[in-house]
Amino acid sequence: DGGITQSPKYLFRKEGQNVTLSCEQNLNHDAMYWYRQDPGQGLRLIYYSQIVNDFQKGDIAEGYSVSREKKESFPLTVTSAQKNPTAFYLCASSFPSGLAKNIQYFGAGTRLSVL
């Protein structure tokens, strides 16, 4: 089945710890995205990548890091510098984002909580 897989579904972070959220897609999409959702807010863009080995900061990149070593994978690391990491994280992918019709396909999300 083609799709986007996020893991884990739930993740707990201790103070001062870095944690990594996994996102894998087998849709052959070039572009991948990470969003954060907080209660009462829309999805906010953390990072995106248009192509392998390239990525750009989104609106709220501070305290996060990403890599894009393979087309299929776009892991997100929540670093200890992110002081308020508790949120729901969604990964998405699409064909090149330059085309308006290129809708995004989403994973099921990871809920991160701080212990």
Are 49 and 32 a contacting pair, CB within 8 Å?
A: yes
Complex with another protein: residue 99 or 115, whichever CB lies closer: 99
* CA–CA distance, 96 with 100 (Å, rounded to integer): 10
Complex with another protein: residue 38 or 69, whichever CB lies closer: 38
> Coil, helix or strand for 69?
coil
From the CB of residue 5, how many other CB atoms can be counted at a distance below 10 Å?
Answer: 14
As measured in angstroms, the least distance from the Cβ of 16 to another protein is 29
As measured in angstroms, the least distance from the Cβ of 13 to another protein is 22
> Coil, helix or strand for 16?
coil
As measured in angstroms, the least distance from the Cβ of 99 to another protein is 9
Complex with another protein: residue 13 or 44, whichever CB lies closer: 44
Binding residues for another protein, per CB under 8 A?
A: 4, 35, 40-45, 59, 90, 97-98, 100-101, 103-109
* CA–CA distance, 104 with 94 (Å, rounded to integer): 5
